[in-house]
Amino acid sequence: MIESNQTLGFGYVLTTPEQRNRVLRNTYWLLAVSMLPTVVGAWIGVESGLSSVLSGWVGLIAMLVGGFGFIYAIERTKNSGSGVFVLLGFTFFMGLMLSSLIANVLGFKNGASLVMTAFGGTAGVFFVMASLATVIKKDLSGMGKWLFVGAVIMMIGGIINVFVGSSVGMMVISMLGIGIFSAYMLYDIKQIIDGGETNYISATLSLYLDIVNVFQSLLALLGLVGGEKE
């Protein structure tokens, strides 16, 4: 039997439970694979010393230009097989971008344990949000606009803090990042489950960005409050 999508008004697509489960399954698989280039990119950035270059305003410009460029390319290719490779290229790029923060935290005496704690904490947040998304029956689509506003405010605050260099400001931004992007995980997974997102490459991109933002926010916060100097 051939499955089909039924397009309704306002661009909404009605999908079968089998199709939604397939999108969710493919998203989780691609999300897992996307972590490998991220780790490789972060390792190369730290070991090569490139992490020191990708800090401050240089890293900010590289992140904005490269990040938005990759996201545009992914959206343009998401309906073809090449979209997967563009996405994996983006995750490698993000690994390079994360290497500056990781290198700074590894400079602490307990840096390695802080990185592993941030990794474990992020995995825990994802597990909780994924579990909640499967049991919550309420439509969460209305959350999207408020989360977007919160993310924009946080991004503007982060850009300002690059030039101000306030530890308190960084702490506030990190806590906001953990809260906003944890909620984004719940929202994005629920969108897949409810059939609001039917492209697994776009779904993977959204969840990947959620995970990266929670990880870097948590790692920055741990470095600020728990970093032990040599």
User: Is residue 118 in some structural domain?
Assistant: yes
pLDDT tens for each residue of 62-88: 888 998 999 999 999 999 889 999 999
**Residue-level pLDDT at 73:** 95
Helix and strand tally (H, E) in the chain? 8, 2
pTM: 0.88
Task: Answer whether residue 200 is part of any domain.
Answer: yes
Q: What is the pLDDT along the chain (230 residues), one digit of tens a residue?
A: 333 344 433 334 556 878 888 999 999 999 999 999 999 999 999 999 888 887 777 777 888 899 899 999 999 999 988 999 999 999 999 999 999 999 999 998 898 999 999 999 999 999 999 999 999 888 888 888 899 998 999 888 888 887 787 788 889 999 999 999 999 999 999 999 988 888 999 999 999 999 999 999 999 999 888 876 76
* Residue ranges making up the domain that contains 74: 6-226
In sequence order, which residues have a C-beta less than 8 Å from that of residue 219 and are 6 or more positions away? 101, 102, 105, 114, 115, 118
pLDDT at res. 230: 65
What pLDDT was estimated at residue 168?
87
CA distance 18 to 27: 14
Give, in order, the Cα–Cα distances in Å from 93 to each of 54, 90, 114, 137: 11, 5, 22, 36
Please check whether residue 52 lies inside any domain of the structure. yes
What was the pLDDT predicted at 15?
Answer: 67
Give whole-number Cα distances, 25 to 9, 29, 105, 221, in Å.
Answer: 27, 6, 34, 32
Tens digit of each residue's pLDDT (9 = 90 or more) over 175-210: 999 999 999 999 999 999 988 888 999 999 999 999
Residue 77 in any domain: the answer is yes
| SS3 call for 227 | coil
CA distance 141 to 99: 34
Tokens of 25: 């399954």
Could you tell me if residue 1 is inside a domain?
Answer: no
Residue 195 counted as domain residue: yes
How much is the pLDDT for 1? Answer: 31
Q: Tell me, yes or no, whether 151 lies in a domain.
A: yes
| pLDDT for residue 114 | 94
In a domain, 215, yes or no: yes
Contact 140, 187 (CB under 8 A): yes
Number of domains in the chain: 1
Are 105 and 114 contacting, i.e. CB atoms less than 8 angstroms apart?
Answer: yes
141 is written with which tokens?
């689509």
